DNA sequence: GTCTATAGTCCGATAGAC
DNA sequence: GTCTATCGGACTATAGAC
């Protein structure tokens, strides 16, 4: 194995992502984490100060480049001469996630599950994460959707956006289990991230457009 | 307060639901749980044998009546002279959940969050829950959807059903946080379960129908 | 920066009196 | 069926040698 030698800090971040994705915050012990990373238990507090800070920095390192890219793509959609489309807006939201998931060594399903698990965190931790990483982003995307669907009231947009986010997070969180959720269900090829992303985007856009309360 | 006196076992089940919804399995300690329930710590092992069995029975007591009702409604949809509709099938899946959530004392958001949290459980526990409570159900609903949308291949149905379930679970899990996910988002009236259910069903049906891979 | 050793706390489970 | 008391172990965090 000619892998690049990684320092302790980086190894901790990588194993933290995997363990968090598989077991959640409370379910991950620092002992099991440092054992799997091949580093000393005390290294967590030396490099990060606490278990919580380790997880926070792991999440931050993953989500901030994605959110930067989301904003960049959204700005591009909004800068055009025409009104934005739902497809353009939701592509800006989804494509950066699946770009990261489509790693060089095959689909990074751990990463998807980690992202999807965040929203079932305990209330306080989730609230802090949301304020730090999603509040502004959420507002920007809502404003863009109002432009894309000008006939809908803000409340109507809020409802449909809520379901759209629920679909995205639910799909990310359950993605790893695709092939065994139902024993007798056809196997889904969940390794092609581009196809998964496009299917998800099409589902969300269609749901959004067709979700009028009274049929 | 003229409440009916409840026995220890029932109080444990109720507090277990609340704590599981708010903190998850690993995040719930038996001491905090028994304190909140006003019962002795040892009562958990006397009545249920273990923390795990307590949570399992809590979930079973909640989901089994719902699944019975789901099957009943699905059978009704399938017994008609005409082919089932997507709306009928997804109503059979969703309405029993929101019927329970629409409790006599207002919306039972704890219950919704508990259901939505289950799918982010650790792999092993989730797998066992799925085998026990969802495997057969899932197969039955998939078969019904194939009848409702006969032009779609089984693989195509499986993809779209996956996203539909993701939407449902994501919406249940995040429902409690509706009003503070975005500070500047219009407040959603998340207390009318019938309206929430209908909106969710319409979103899912529209997403399902419009989720073709190639536009 | 890495290690050993351990403090101090909390955990699930259970024995045994009542 | 409920209680006290406690076991044995796991946890996070840290002190201090190297």
Q: Inform me whether the pLDDT recorded for A184 exceeds 70.
A: no
Q: Inform me whether the pLDDT recorded for A182 exceeds 70.
A: no
Q: Mean of the per-residue pLDDT values for chain B?
A: 90
CB < 8 Å to A139, chain B: 182-185
CB A199 within 8 A of CB A205: no
Q: What is the pLDDT of residues B137-170, one digit of tens each?
A: 999 999 999 999 999 998 899 999 999 999 999 8
pTM reported for the whole predicted model: 0.94
Q: What is the pLDDT of residues A193-213, one digit of tens each?
A: 899 999 999 999 999 999 998
Q: Do A165 and B174 touch (CB under 8 A)?
A: yes
CB B13 within 8 A of CB B58: yes
CA nearest B185 in A: which residue?
A: A158
Q: What is the pLDDT of residue A215?
A: 66
- Strand C positions within 7 A of protein Cβ atoms: 1-6, 10-16
Is the CB of A28 less than 7 A from some atom of nucleic acid strand D?
yes
In DSSP terms, B106 is beta-bridged to B103
Task: Indicate the pLDDT class of residue A142, thresholds 50, 70 and 90.
Answer: very high
As a whole number of angstroms, the distance between CA A53 and CA B39 comes to 35
Q: Inform me whether the pLDDT recorded for B136 exceeds 50.
A: yes
Q: Does A61 touch chain B (CB under 8 A)?
A: no
User: Would residue A31 be called left, alpha or beta, if left means φ above 0 and alpha means ψ between -120 and 50 degrees?
Assistant: alpha
Q: Inform me whether the pLDDT recorded for B2 exceeds 50.
A: no
Q: What is the pLDDT of residues A26-51, one digit of tens each?
A: 999 999 999 999 999 999 999 999 99
H/E element holding B59?
A: helix B51-79
| Protein residue minimizing CA–C1' distance to C15 | B42
Interface of A with B in 142-171 (CB under 8 A): 142, 154-155, 158-163, 165-171
CB B73 within 8 A of CB B96: yes
CB B59 within 8 A of CB B118: yes
Any idea which nucleotide's C1' is nearest the CA of B30? C12
Q: Do A184 and B116 touch (CB under 8 A)?
A: no
Q: Do A210 and B213 touch (CB under 8 A)?
A: no
The CA–C1' separation of A51 and C6, in angstroms, is: 19
> Closest partner residue to A202 among B165, B166, B210, by Cβ?
B210
Length of chain B: 215
Higher pLDDT, A187 or A79: A79
List the structure tokens of A93. 């939201």
Q: Inform me whether the pLDDT recorded for B75 exceeds 90.
A: yes
- Sign of the C-alpha dihedral computed for residues B24, A179, B88 and B143 taken in this order: negative
Average pLDDT over residues A119-139: 87
Task: Indicate the pLDDT class of residue B188, thresholds 50, 70 and 90.
Answer: low
Cβ-based contacts (< 7 Å) between B 41-70 and strand D: 41-43, 46-47
> Closest partner residue to A210 among B25, B182, B206, by Cβ?
B206
Query: How much of chain B exceeds pLDDT 90, in percent?
Result: 70
């Amino acid at each position: 194995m000619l892998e690049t030698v990684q320092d302790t800090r980086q190894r901790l971040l990588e194993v933290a992502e995997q363990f968090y994705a598989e077991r959640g915050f409370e379910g991950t012990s620092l002992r099991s984490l440092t054992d799997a990373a091949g580093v000393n238990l005390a290294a967590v507090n030396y490099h990060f100060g606490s278990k919580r800070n380790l997880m926070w920095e792991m999440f931050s390192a993953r989500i901030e480049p994605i959110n930067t890219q989301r904003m960049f793509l959204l700005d591009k959609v909004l800068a055009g001469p025409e009104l934005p489309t739902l497809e353009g807006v939701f592509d800006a939201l989804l494509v950066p996630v699946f770009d990261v998931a489509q790693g060089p060594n095959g689909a990074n399903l751990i990463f998807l599950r980690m992202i999807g698990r965040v929203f079932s965190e305990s209330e306080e931790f989730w609230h802090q994460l949301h304020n730090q990483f999603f509040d502004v982003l959420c507002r920007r995307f809502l404003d863009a959707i109002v432009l894309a669907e000008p006939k809908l009231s803000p409340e109507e947009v809020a409802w449909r956006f809520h379901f759209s986010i629920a679909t995205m997070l639910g799909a990310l969180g359950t993605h790893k289990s695709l092939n065994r959720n139902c024993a007798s269900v056809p196997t889904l090829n969940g390794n092609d991230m581009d196809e998964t992303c496009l299917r998800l985007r099409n589902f969300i856009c269609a749901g959004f457009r067709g979700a009028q309360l009274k049929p």
